Amino acid sequence: MKDLESLSATQAIHALARREIKASDLLLSCLDRIGQKESLVKAWASLGKENALSRAKTLDKGTVKGLLHGLPIGVKDLYDTYDLPTAYGSPIYANHYPATDAVSIALMRQAGGIILGKTKTTEFASFKPSQTTNPHNPSHTPGGSSSGSAAAVADFMIPLATGSQTAGSIIRPASFCGVVGFKPSLGKISIAGVKSLSISLDTMGCFGRTVEDVALGVAVMSGDHAMAKVQELHNKPRIAICKTSLWSLAGKETATALAVARHAAESLCKGSVFDLVLPKSCNTIDQVQTRIMISEMSRSLAFEKNHYAKKLSVQLMKQLDDGAEVSYAQYAADLTSAIDAKASIQKLFNDEVDILMAPSALGEAPLIKEGTGDPIFCRGWTLLGLPCININVTSGPNGLPVGVQLIAGPGKDHLLLSTARAFARALPDPVLRDQA
């Protein structure tokens, strides 16, 4: 079997389990691709080639071990790894080796996964860009903060990579790079061993090339192994489009993507796809998310600010200073507002809709000099803790991918995956249908 690096995670797992391919051959194929493209894409913070190859050879000799047996994985450099440096995208932690793996990474190794290396993140998963470029056009951003993970999967360097989202750090780079990105429900995956920005918002997830890939990744990372097998969509869900109050900011390519998405979803849903406006309690969720995030960041990174201020970027220092200006009374009021908004969203999903479709980003990936892109179309869903998945739907004026996110009710991760796979199958472009 040739071009092993082009296999999706699910395809590779099936071939590995049937002993049609060797873990060592798959790993070498990925390393060869990295050797060809890394100087341009710059997706990796570090690689553990020798350890990974040794583990692959050991797995090739033994019995099939777990859901990820022999699969190479990229780990966002926000997750602790005991055998690879974990810098959190900051010079403060250069050559920092944690004593243990993050919980989710330990579970991936336990399931037979091979940690190939750490993918680049923005500084402490904030907004200062990493060096990573968009694989489709190196003058454009891959998005942030999970820059390296999205780019490495998109460029066929790795079939599966972890990410995290506090505002829009999984969904936005997935859209910019044209891959599937899955942010499960808040709390689905343990954040233990991951450098936290905002304890109320931080959500772990992953990137793959298909819906089944990201389902497999989150199944292992969370311990919910039933998620590894995406169920067929037997009942037609109620599907609505939520453009949000910020729709005026969306580019023409985003409007086109939602139009394509509406058409594809019409064949899946109960009745027609309708437009939906969120309850009044959600009118300020974007501002609430921002204040909660920067307020918690100012405390989460207090040590770094106190001891290493000169090693923090100007952008991050401003965020920390702004966060410190949010009074505790305002912070407490925002947490209460979030609870109220979550209650009304729960009622909305109970009474009116099963799946929402919304923009993943303003449009296609902007130029690198313009930053990592605005997470405005993701902030509210992250605050509400809802499971979200990006599916690539069309392309923008520069030929770069443009995605749409599907969103399910609280805890409805399994329904979201089933719907997303059916949705991908319904897309008019046969290449896009490969995301199923």
What are the tens digits of pLDDT across the range 387-436? Answer: 999 999 999 999 999 999 999 999 999 999 999 999 999 999 999 999 99
- Residue 65 pLDDT: 86
Residue 267, φ and ψ in degrees, nearest 5: -80, -10
Average pLDDT over residues 197-212: 98
β-partners of residue 157 are none
Rounded to whole angstroms, the Cα distance separating 53 from 59 reads: 10
Average pLDDT over residues 322-345: 98
Number of H helices and E strands in the chain, helices first, is: 15, 11
pLDDT band per the 50, 70, 90 thresholds, residue 144: very high
pLDDT band per the 50, 70, 90 thresholds, residue 156: very high
Q: How many CB atoms lie within 10 A of CB 328?
A: 8
Rounded to whole angstroms, the Cα distance separating 391 from 382 reads: 17
Q: What angle do CA 387, 322, 87 make, to 5 degrees?
A: 65
CA–CA distances in Å: residue 80 to residues 198, 221, 248: 17, 14, 40
Grouping H, G, I as helix, E, B as strand and the rest as coil, residue 318 is: helix
Residue 75, φ and ψ in degrees, nearest 5: -120, 120
pLDDT at 208 over 90: yes
- Residue that is written with structure tokens 């920005």 in the block: 197
Rounded to whole angstroms, the Cα distance separating 215 from 401 reads: 22
Q: Which residues have C-beta within 8 Å of that of residue 336, sequence separation ≥ 6?
A: none
pLDDT band per the 50, 70, 90 thresholds, residue 2: low
Evaluate if pTM is beyond 0.85. Answer: yes
Average pLDDT over residues 39-64: 97
pLDDT band per the 50, 70, 90 thresholds, residue 210: very high
CA–CA distances in Å: residue 47 to residues 74, 84, 251: 9, 8, 37
Say if residues 63 and 23 touch (Cβ distance below 8 Å).
no
Average pLDDT over residues 118-143: 97
Average pLDDT over residues 208-222: 98
Q: β-pairing, 180-183 with 203-208?
A: antiparallel
- Digit-coded pLDDT (tens) for 263-297: 999 999 988 999 999 999 999 999 999 999 999 99
- Residue that is written with structure tokens 């995301």 in the block: 435
Q: What angle do CA 284, 280, 359 make, to 5 degrees?
A: 65
Rounded to whole angstroms, the Cα distance separating 408 from 387 reads: 6
Class of domain 239-283+331-433: alpha beta
Say if residues 90 and 311 touch (Cβ distance below 8 Å).
yes
Average pLDDT over residues 292-321: 98
Q: Where are the beta strands (DSSP E) in 298-429?
A: 355-359, 388-395, 401-408
Residue 247, token pair as written in the block: 């729709």
Say if residues 408 and 387 touch (Cβ distance below 8 Å).
yes
- Digit-coded pLDDT (tens) for 334-350: 999 999 999 999 999 99
Residue 52, φ and ψ in degrees, nearest 5: -65, -45
pLDDT band per the 50, 70, 90 thresholds, residue 1: low
- Residue 250 pLDDT: 97
| Catalytic residue ranges | 76, 145, 169
At the topology level, CATH places domain 4-228 in: Amidase signature (AS) enzymes (3.90.1300)
pLDDT band per the 50, 70, 90 thresholds, residue 116: very high
Average pLDDT over residues 179-204: 98
Rounded to whole angstroms, the Cα distance separating 80 from 337 reads: 33
DSSP label of 238: P
Say if residues 215 and 230 touch (Cβ distance below 8 Å).
yes
CA of residue 3 relative to chain centroid, distance: 25
1, HSE (Cβ side, Cα atoms, 13 Å): 16
User: So where are the chain's domains?
Assistant: 4-228, 239-283+331-433
